[in-house]
Structure 1
Amino acid sequence: MTVPDPAQPLRAYLFADPAAHSLSPRMHRAAFAHAGLNGNYEARQVPAPDLPAAVSSLRETGVLGANLSLPHKETALPLLDSLSKAARSIGAVNTIVHRNGRLHGDNTDAPGLRQALADAGYTFEQGADVIVLGAGGAARAAVYTALIMGEQNVWIVNRTLSRAQAIAHHWSAPDADFQVAAVPAGSAPWTRAALVINASSAGLNDPDQTPLDATFLARLPAGALVYDMVYKPEETRLMRDARAHGLAAENGLGMLAHQARLAFQAWTGADVPVEVFLGALAASGRAAAGSTG
């Protein structure tokens, strides 16, 4: 954690590609204001070849750190000086904290997802079946969350099966009480899955795109929850299809707010209530609804 100096403007960033869709600046600027800190948060579009230079710039005086989103959560690992236990286990970083010239990588996606699922009424139970869609850094956080919260069986579905297999291999253990496997969509245990998490970018900014054929949703049990990490649009096609089959469905706004709160706390030491972050997101939604642009 960098100790805030009231006379020194503080800076934090999001590095992503694309970055224009992000609601993180609204949340973190509201958090700076709530905490009474002179700071700013900026979303920067950083193509993959530019990531090393962008990460190196976080060592500058007055920089608290950065969030990472697609496609940087995994590739940033070797650029950092240290990693939290969670980031090392997950194999992905979404938060970089500047500590006196050194850069520490953490993962607040996993606890953010855990709290968002709890808010949605999902209860982790040992031996339950969870289906994760995607095979990037967000999917790694989803698998990790499912395993540490209940030793659940996790089935990873991804268009490129080899990427899903790499994640499954990372956590597979012959003597474990749970199973982690990469499977084609047609082989996933839809009829007994308690939770489906979309950890892919399918549907991001495109309300007609979906990561999953609706016929698979029709096979889910009545009590299953479909959690879409995508938060823009607020109702994705995956969510609409799930609700059309009588299933509960949530978007990623809750996870976004919870992970942001934890990142902000790591940067500043300020424990800003999650309601501040959720309020900024709600205000963003109202502004978008009233925009004519």
Structure 2
Amino acid sequence: MPGQPRRRLLLIPVALEVWGDPIEHSLSPAMHRAAYALLGWDWTYGRRRVDEASFPAELASLGAEYRGLSLTMPLKRVAFAAAAERDARATLTGAANTLVRAASGWHAFHTDAGGIVAAWAEAGVVAAERARIVGAGATASAALVALAEMGVRQVQVAARRPEAAASLRDLGERLHLRVDAVPLDATDLPPVDVTIATLPGGVSIHETVADRLAAAGGALMDVVYGHWPTDLSRAWDRIGASAQGGAGMLLHQAVLQIRAFASGRVDEPLPREAEVVAVMRRALVGD
């Protein structure tokens, strides 16, 4: 029936949750519940505080009604390890932010990279040649995969500890793109088409450093949300350059999660997907 998830999903109640530690701040319940209400799906979506140590027991305790989970920090790597199957993005990053129950066990997906690609496309950026990633933490891997999908062939990582980018260089080789690393306060920065900042919210960057990154940075996506504006976005604003926060990525990665929950695939659009995106966006911004 159009507008309904697959019939087999209706045989038992469908429960979903977002797990992490901390978890109280998560905006996922509001977005997911808005989407399910629009589609008329009698699905529940809650939140649960789970850390790495308790994750295996919590996962094993789930009843048959649990169709899937959204995972945030610090659970993305343990979720990846717990899966029987993994999609290509999860395999590349070694992390999963989505688990879906399948006949063979839990199927892991990584939707952050797809969320970044979709958010860039929404801002009118569908391709680039050169890019910079600010920060070398876990989110940087998702950013690198997203940039590869956008056709980027050369990426510079600017990090407080350039040696932390070693795993990103290895991932770049698998993605057939060149990755080099420089200190965050490097003075000789080549111009790039886009910059993705992956630093945690609230991290302070000296104005001189931020201005230098902005001058050579093209369009900016700072993936934080709830800490806007950031030091970097202010620098981009000072020169009148394009800057967006992490809300677009958060929205579109959640859309991909719902696709996975509904069909077991992230490339199968939802019924009335444009309306779903709109109602989720309103839930995200609090309208």
2:260 corresponding residue in structure 1: 266
Alpha carbons 1:92, 1:140 under 8 Å: kept: no
Secondary structure in 2 aligned to 1:180? strand
Secondary structure in 1 aligned to 2:69? strand
2:250 corresponding residue in structure 1: 256
**Distance between the aligned counterparts of 1:37 and 1:229, measured in 2?**
30
What's the TM-score once normalised by structure 2's chain length? 0.84
**Distance between the aligned counterparts of 2:239 and 2:207, measured in 1?**
9
Closer, same or farther: CA 284–108 of 1 in aligned 2, 3 Å: closer
1:69 corresponding residue in structure 2: 72
1:217 aligns with 2:226: no
Secondary structure in 2 aligned to 1:97? strand
2:192 corresponding residue in structure 1: 193
Closer, same or farther: CA 194–57 of 1 in aligned 2, 3 Å: farther
1:285 corresponding residue in structure 2: 285
1:28 aligns with 2:27: no
**Distance between the aligned counterparts of 1:181 and 1:53, measured in 2?**
40
1:92 corresponding residue in structure 2: 95
**Distance between the aligned counterparts of 1:236 and 1:186, measured in 2?**
17
Q: Please list the CA deviations of residues 198-227 of structure 1 after superposition, one character each: whole Å capped at 9, or x if unmatched.
A: 223233xxxxx43x3332332334781110
Q: CA deviation at 1:32?
A: 1.2
Q: Aligned AA for 1:64?
A: R
Q: Aligned AA for 2:234?
A: R
Q: Matched residues, percent identical?
A: 30
Alpha carbons 2:20, 2:50 under 8 Å: kept: yes
What's the TM-score once normalised by structure 1's chain length? 0.83
Secondary structure in 1 aligned to 2:64? coil
Q: CA deviation at 1:35?
A: 1.8
Alpha carbons 2:210, 2:231 under 8 Å: kept: no
Q: CA deviation at 1:110?
A: 1.1
Alpha carbons 1:2, 1:267 under 8 Å: kept: no
Q: CA deviation at 1:232?
A: 1.3
Closer, same or farther: CA 109–51 of 1 in aligned 2, 3 Å: same
Residues 43-58 of structure 1 mapped to structure 2, 5 A cutoff: 43-58=47-62
Closer, same or farther: CA 228–275 of 1 in aligned 2, 3 Å: farther
1:165 corresponding residue in structure 2: 166
Q: Please list the CA deviations of residues 215-256 of structure 1 after superposition, one character each: whole Å capped at 9, or x if unmatched.
A: 233233478111011121453343233212322110111111
**Distance between the aligned counterparts of 1:234 and 1:217, measured in 2?**
15
**Distance between the aligned counterparts of 2:207 and 2:274, measured in 1?**
33
Q: CA deviation at 1:63?
A: 0.9
1:141 corresponding residue in structure 2: 142
Alpha carbons 1:191, 1:221 under 8 Å: kept: no
**Distance between the aligned counterparts of 1:2 and 1:53, measured in 2?**
29
Secondary structure in 1 aligned to 2:24? coil
Q: Please list the CA deviations of residues 61-91 of structure 1 after superposition, one character each: whole Å capped at 9, or x if unmatched.
A: 1111111112222232211111112210122
2:266 corresponding residue in structure 1: none
Q: CA deviation at 1:44?
A: 1.9
**Distance between the aligned counterparts of 2:162 and 2:281, measured in 1?**
34
**Distance between the aligned counterparts of 1:237 and 1:63, measured in 2?**
41
Secondary structure in 2 aligned to 1:235? coil
1:230 aligns with 2:233: no
| Farther-moved stretch of structure 1 (48-57 vs 85-94) | 48-57
Secondary structure in 2 aligned to 1:135? coil
Structure 2 unaligned segments of length 5 or more: list them.
264-269
Q: Aligned AA for 2:155?
A: V
Alpha carbons 1:157, 1:182 under 8 Å: kept: yes
| Farther-moved stretch of structure 1 (138-147 vs 49-58) | 49-58
Secondary structure in 2 aligned to 1:43? strand
1:206 corresponding residue in structure 2: none
**Distance between the aligned counterparts of 1:56 and 1:28, measured in 2?**
24
Q: Please list the CA deviations of residues 71-123 of structure 1 after superposition, one character each: whole Å capped at 9, or x if unmatched.
A: 22223221111111221012221111111361011111111110101111224
**Distance between the aligned counterparts of 1:262 and 1:282, measured in 2?**
17
**Distance between the aligned counterparts of 2:240 and 2:220, measured in 1?**
11
Secondary structure in 2 aligned to 1:190? coil
Alpha carbons 2:35, 2:279 under 8 Å: kept: no
